[in-house]
Amino acid sequence: MRRPLRAIAAAGLLAAGSIVAVALGGTASADTQICEQFGSTTIQNRYVVQNNRWGTTAQQCINVTGTGFEITTQNGSNPTNGAPTAYPSVFFGCHYTNCSPGTNLPIQVSQISSATSSISYRYVSGAVYNASYDIWLDPTPKRDGVNQMEIMIWLNRQGAIQPIGSPVGTTTLVGRTWEVWRGSNGANNVISYVAPSPVSSLDFSVLDFINDVKNRGAITSSWYLTSIQAGFEPWQGGAGLAVTSFSAAVNGGGNPTTPPPTTPPPTTPPPTGGSGCAVKYTPNAWNNGFTADVQITNTASSAINGWTLAYSLPAGQQVTSSWNATVSQSGSAVTARNVSWNGSIAPGGTASFGYQGTLSGAYSSPTSFTLNGVACARR
C-alpha cells in the first residue's frame, strides 16, 4: 500500500531519503529479487530491505542478500535540481508501520545507553546518486507517517546534487570532518552531514550525530529514535550500487527524561530586566543566510500554558523555515508560537525552537523579546 510522499524537492533542493513502504514481505534466506515499487523483505530476522521506488515510474529492481542488497536495474532518470528516483535501503526500527523484527524502537533518546552501527557500500561510476544513512526522530514514539527530524549522513555524493537547505558550517564527528547543512522540506526538518570525499565503510556511534543535532537545538532528549536506515538516492543510473553489509544495535539503560522542577531552583535567581521569562538567542550566520536557536525559560512561579514569543529581526533578515515552533514574519516583526507538544513550560523549565533564514548585509541579533505580551530578559 502506497504511503504519502514525505518530501517534495524544490529547485536546487534534495528530497530526503526514504518515503514509502509496504507491509513486510518475506524473509530473504537466499538472494531475493524485488522489483515491486514498494516491495520489501527481511534479512537476518532483524532488518528490513525495501525497494522504495517513489520518485519515478521507471523500473527499479534490487537483489537482496543475507547481509544487504544491490541495485540490479535502475531505469529512472530525474533532473538533479529535483527529487531522486528512489531510496532503496535497509533499516532497523519502524518506517510507515513496517517495523523490523524484534526491534526496540521507538526509544526515547534519554533512555539510550548506546547506539552503534556499521555499514559498507560498493560504488559505481557514471551515475548520479548519494549514499545516504538516515536517522529518524520524532517527539512521539511514532511508528507511521512522517517524523519531524531527519538526520542524513552523506557518505558519497556524485553529480550536481545537494542536501536540503543551506550549509551552516563544519563539524568533526566519528573522527571525520563533515559539512553541515540545515533546512526543511516542508514536511520535516533535515540536518545533513556531507563527507568531503567518498566513504566506503563506517563503524560508528549513532549517538554522536544525535547528540550533535540535540546540541544545535533541533531536538531534545525527550524525543524518540524511530529508525536507522542506509541506502542510496539515485537520480540517474545506479545499477551495481550495493550495501554489502549493515548492522545496527540500540541499547536502553540510559537516563530517562525527568520532568522539570515545579519551582525555580533556589540557587538561580531570576535574571534582571524581565518579568517571568528569559530568552537565550544563539545565531549561526554565513554570507547569505543564518540559523537561530531560541531557548525560552519560565522564571515565574506558575506554569506557562501556551506561548507566543514576539520580537523584531534586523533589516535584511527573512525567515524561511522553522522547527519546534510555528514562526511567521510580517516586515521585521516575528511571531513564534508553540506547537502541540511544547506549549507548557513549568516554572524553571524551558522550551526551545529554531529557524533558518536568508541574510542581506551584516548580521545582528534581535535585541528584545516579549512572551505572551511580557518583556523577557536576555540570557
* Residue 131 parent element (H or E): strand 128-138
Query: Which residues make Cβ contacts (< 8 Å) with residue 56, sequence separation at least 6?
Result: 75, 76, 77, 78, 85, 86
Q: Are 49 and 43 in contact (CB under 8 A)?
A: yes
Nearest Cα to Cα of residue 99 among 6, 24, 20: 24
CA distance 26 to 300: 56
Rounded Cα gap, residues 212 and 124, in angstroms: 31
Distance CA 77, CA 309 (A): 45
Residues 6+ apart with CB under 8 A from 258: none
Closest CA to 245 of 8, 93, 65, 48: 65
Catalytic residue (choose from 36, 70, 179, 233): 233
Residue with cell 526514504: 18
Judge whether 46 and 102 are in contact, CB under 8 Å: yes
150 is catalytic: yes
Active-site option among 36, 70, 150, 179: 150
Contacts of 9 (CB under 8 A, 6+ apart): 15, 81, 82, 83, 185
326-340 burial: b if 16+ Cβ within 10 Å, else e: ebebeeeebebebee
Nearest partner of 135 among 89, 76, 175, 80, judged by Cα: 89
Tell me, yes or no, if 233 is annotated catalytic: yes
- Cβ atoms of 243 and 231 within 8 Å: the answer is yes
Q: Measured between alpha carbons, how far is 104 from 92 in angstroms, rounded to an integer?
A: 9
Q: If we measure between CA atoms, which residue out of 173, 84, 96 comes closest to residue 132? A: 84
Cα–Cα distance for residue pair 36/75, rounded to 1 Å: 14
Tell how strand 350-359 and strand 317-323 pair up.
antiparallel
Active site residues: 150, 233
